[in-house]
Structure 1
Amino acid sequence: MKELVSIITPCYNSADFIEETIQSVLHQTYENWEWLITDDLSHDKTIEIINKYNDPRIKLVVLEKNGGAGNARNKSLERAEGRYIAFLDSDDFWYPEYLETMIDYMQDHHAELVYCNYSRCDEKLQPILKVFKADRIVTFHNLLKTCRLAPVSTMYDTKRAGKFYFPIKSKREDHVMWLNLLKVITEGHPIDKTMAKYRMRENSVSRKKKNIIKDQYLVYKDFMGFSTLKSLYYTANWAMNGFMKYSKIFN
C-alpha cells in the first residue's frame, strides 16, 4: 500500500487564490494524501470556498485566534498522520506529478528530504524570475548561508527524521525549521525538475528583504546560539545570496 503523505497548509484571507491551489492538489497523480488546512481566522470567503469541496481527505480547522503562518502550520502538523510531510501555502501551486515524483525519489534513493525546482510567478501565476533550480545537495552548513528550501517544493520523511515544528517567535520560521531538521539528517537531495509554482505577491513579507535583516540575524543568534560575530557573518552571506536569488529577472 502506498504511504500516506500529509499536506500542511496555513491560510489567511486567500479567497483570490486558493481555488487554484485546491485544484492543483485534487489533480495529483498520487492519491493517498490528507490535506490539513489550518485557517488563521480569515474574514473573506476563504473558508466558504474550501467547504465547497466534499472530499474527506481535506481536513479544515479554523483557529479562534490569529497566530501567524508558523502557528497555523504547527496546528496542522499536530494532526498529521502521514509518513511524508509536504508544505503548500494557500496561494501556491503544484504540477500533477509533484507528490508522486517526490515520494518515488525518496523511496528509490532512501532520501530523508528532497526538494525540486519551482517557478517564481506573479499573482496570476505567470513567471517573473528565472526558475529556482534544485541544483545541489543541501546540508546544515550550506543552508546557513542561503535558504535553498522553500515549503512549496520540499518534502521530508518523518519515519526517518521525526516531525519538526516551526518556532512561532521567529519571522524566519521556515529557515529555522529546515536548519533544525538538517541537524538531525545528513543532507537533502535535489530533483532537477520544475513541479511547483511560488506566487510572489506584492505584499509578501518574504520579499521585503531590507525589513528582515534583523530577523535573519536572530536566526543565528537566538535560535542557532551563535556568537555575535558568527551571526553577523552568516547574515551578511544570507543577504548577499538573497540579493542574487531575487535579482535575476526572467525576461
Structure 2
Amino acid sequence: MMKVSIAIIAYNHSKFIIQAVNSVLMQQVNFDYELVIGEDCSTDNTGELLVNLQKQHPNKIRLLSSEKNLGVQRNYNRTIQACQGQYIAVLDGDDYWTSPCKLQKQVDFLDSHPEFTACFHNVLIYFEDESRAHHRMRPPDQRKVVTFEDLLITKTIPTCSLMFRNGLVKEFPEWAYSVYMVDWLLNLLCARNGPIGYIDEMMATYRIHPEGLWSSMSYIQQLFADMEFLELLDVYLGLKYNRTITWAVSDRWSKIAKDLIELAIQQPTADEAMTVLEAQWRAWPAKFKLPSALKRQIKGEIYGHFATESLVKGDIATTRTCLIKAVSFDPSWLRNWGWWSMGLRSFLQQPISEKLHW
C-alpha cells in the first residue's frame, strides 16, 4: 500500500502551482508517496502547467482533470476519494511546503501515535501584497492535542499542514457543497474519530492573495460564512453539540459587533456613523438578522464613543445628546461610572435656564 497521498486542489493557480508541486517533490522520505492533483477546469493555464509536470513525473503525479468546473467542495471530495495512501496530506495549489522533512515527520508521528486520527503543524501566513507583516498562524501556547469540540469553536488547523488517516473521510454530506468551509469540515470529520496532534514546527506557507477564495472575502463576510457553516453543522450533528455551537455563533456575532463599531467610530460625527452602520446592515444577507439587543448595544457603544470625543473637544451640547442616546439604546450605560461622570460634567456646564429642562 502507498504510504502517503498528497491531495492538491488546483483552480486558477498558474502563478503558484509549480511552487506548490515542487515543494512536495523536494520531500526527503523513506517511503513511497503519490501526488493526486484535482485540476478544476481552470480558466488560466494551470491545467497546461500540470500536464507538463505530470509528464515530467509520471510515476509520482496523478492528474484528475475536469471538463467543467466542479467547485472547490466537489473537487476536494473527488481528489481525497482518489487517494490510495495510508495517510493523506492536503495542499491547496496556492500554498507550499517549506520543510523537506515535513512528510517524514508527520508520518513518524502518526505511525508512533495510533491514538491520533491526524496531525498538523504551524505555518507562516504570507501576505502576497505585503500589506501586513507575515506571521505564524498558531501561537506559542498552541495545545498539543486538539479535540472535536475545540474545532467547533475555532478553525485551528491550517489546511496545508494537515495529514490524516485514509478512510476517515468518506463522502462529504450534501449540505457541504453549499458552504465555503470544506477544509473546516474535513478537520471535523477527522476529529470525530479521535484527537488530532500538533507538531510545534513551522513547515509550510499559507498564502494570502486577492484571488484566494477565502482571503477575497471581507472580515464580516467570513464571519457570516462561519455562522452559516455552524448552523448547518449543528443540524447535521443532531443538535448533540448545540451548546458549544451556540457559543461559537454568539462569539461570531460579538466579533461582527466589534468590527461594526470600529468602522462607525471612524466617521467624524455620530450621525454619519449611524448612516454607515445602517448601510452595512442593509447590505447583509437576509438570513443573518442582527439580534435586536445586539443592535441596540452597538448603537449605545457608538454614541458613548462620540459623547467622550465631544466632551474632550468641549462640545457640551453634543456630549449631552450622545449620552442620552447611548443610555436610551443601552441602559447598561447607567452602570458605567464614566457615563455618570460625563453626565455631571456636561450638566454642570449648562446655563441655569437649561438645567431645569435636562
State the TM-score, normalized to the length of structure 1: 0.85
User: Which of 136, 140, 145 matches 1:131?
Assistant: 136
Paired residue for 1:146?
A: 154
Show CA shifts across 1:180-232 (max 9, x none): 322222x1111001111111112323233311333222222212324988645
More strand by share: 1
Say whether the 8 Å CA contact 2:87–2:163 is kept in structure 1: yes
Contact 1:117/1:133 (8 A) holds in 2: yes
* 1:22 equivalent in structure 2: 21
- Partner of residue 119, structure 1: 124
Instruction: Output the CA distance in 2 between the equivalents of 1:190 and 1:241.
Output: 27
Moved more, 127-136 or 53-62: 127-136
Specify the code of the residue in structure 1 equivalent to 2:163.
M
Aligned counterpart for 2:62 among listed residues 59, 63, 69: 59
Residue 146 of structure 1 contacts residue 237 of structure 1 at CA under 8 Å; is this kept in 2? no
Q: Secondary structure at the match of 1:67?
A: coil
Cα distance between partner residues in 2 of 1:238 and 1:93: 30
Cα distance in 2, alignment partners of residues 231 and 89 from structure 1: 27
Between the two proteins, the alignment pairs up a number of residues equal to 239
1:63 positional shift = 1.0
Shift in CA distance, 191/179, structure 1 to aligned 2, threshold 3 Å = same
Counterparts in 2 of 1:52 and 1:241: CA distance versus 1, 3 Å: farther
Percentage of pairs with the same residue: 24
User: Using the alignment, how far apart are the partners of 1:143 and 1:172 within structure 2?
Assistant: 12
Q: Which of structures 1 and 2 has the larger relative contact order (alpha carbons within 8 angstroms, sep 6+)?
A: 1
Matches within 5 A, 1:23-102: 23-30=22-29, 32-53=32-53, 54-55=56-57, 56-94=59-97, 95-102=99-106
Give how far 1:239 is off. Answer: 6.9
Tell me if the contact between 2:6 and 2:35 (Cα under 8 Å) persists in the aligned partners.
yes
Please name the residue that 1:175 is paired with.
184
Partner Cα separation in structure 1 for residue 125 and residue 243 of structure 2: 33
> Which residue, 208, 213, 234 being the options, matches 2:223?
213
Task: Show CA shifts across 1:104-128 (max 9, x none).
Answer: 1111222321110100112389993
Shift of 1:240: 6.7
Does the C-alpha gap of structure 1 residues 4 and 126 become closer, same or farther in structure 2, counting only changes over 3 Å?
A: farther
Q: Which has the higher helix share?
A: 2
1:31-55 deviation digits (Å, cap 9, x = unpaired): 5111111111012111221222221
Q: Is 1:109 matched with 2:113?
A: yes
Q: 1:77–1:125: structure 2 CA closer, same or farther, 3 Å change rule?
A: farther
Give secondary structure in 1 for the equivalent of 2:62.
Answer: strand
Let me know the Cα RMSD of the aligned residues: 2.7
Paired with 2:64 and 2:14, the residues of 1 have a C-alpha distance of: 16
CA gap of 1:201–1:174, structure 2 versus 1, over 3 A, is same
Return the alpha-carbon distance in structure 2 between the equivalents of residues 127 and 196 of structure 1.
18
Whether 2:229 is the aligned partner of 1:222: answer no
Counterpart code for 1:12: Y
After TM superposition, the score normalised by the length of structure 2 is 0.61
The whole-number CA distance in structure 2 between the counterparts of 1:103 and 1:23 is: 19
Q: Which has the larger radius of gyration?
A: 2
- Rounded to whole Å, the distance in 1 between the matches of 2:128 and 2:17 is 12
Structure 1, gaps ≥5 residues long = 244-251
- Residue by residue over 1:42-101, the C-alpha shift from the partner in whole angstroms, topping out at 9 and shown as x without a partner, is 121112212222212111111122122121111112211111011001111112111011
Aligned residue among 190, 195, 207 for 2:198: 190
Which residue identity does 2:64 align to in structure 1? Answer: V
- Quote the offset at 1:103 in angstroms: 0.5
Residues 178 and 204 of structure 1: is their aligned pair in 2 closer, same or farther, counting only changes over 3 Å?
same
CA distance in 2, matches of 1:67, 1:230: 33
Task: Return 5+ residue gaps in structure 2 as ranges.
Answer: 259-358
After TM superposition, give the deviation of residue 12 of structure 1 in Å: 0.9
Partner SS, residue 120 of structure 2: strand
2:36–2:63 Cα contact (<8 Å) kept: yes
Q: 1:127 to 1:109 in 2, by over 3 A?
A: farther
Change (3 A) 1:11 1:214: same
8 Å CA contact 1:125, 1:199 repeated in 2:
no
In 2, the alpha carbon distance for the partners of 1:72 and 1:191 equals 28
Q: 1:26 to 1:127 in 2, by over 3 A?
A: farther
CA contact (8 A) 1:13 1:46 kept: yes
Decide whether the 8 Å contact of 2:120 with 2:199 is kept in 1. yes
Cα gap change, 1:148 to 1:229, in 2 (>3 Å):
closer
Alignment-mate amino acid for residue 176 of structure 1: L
Aligned to 1:202: 210
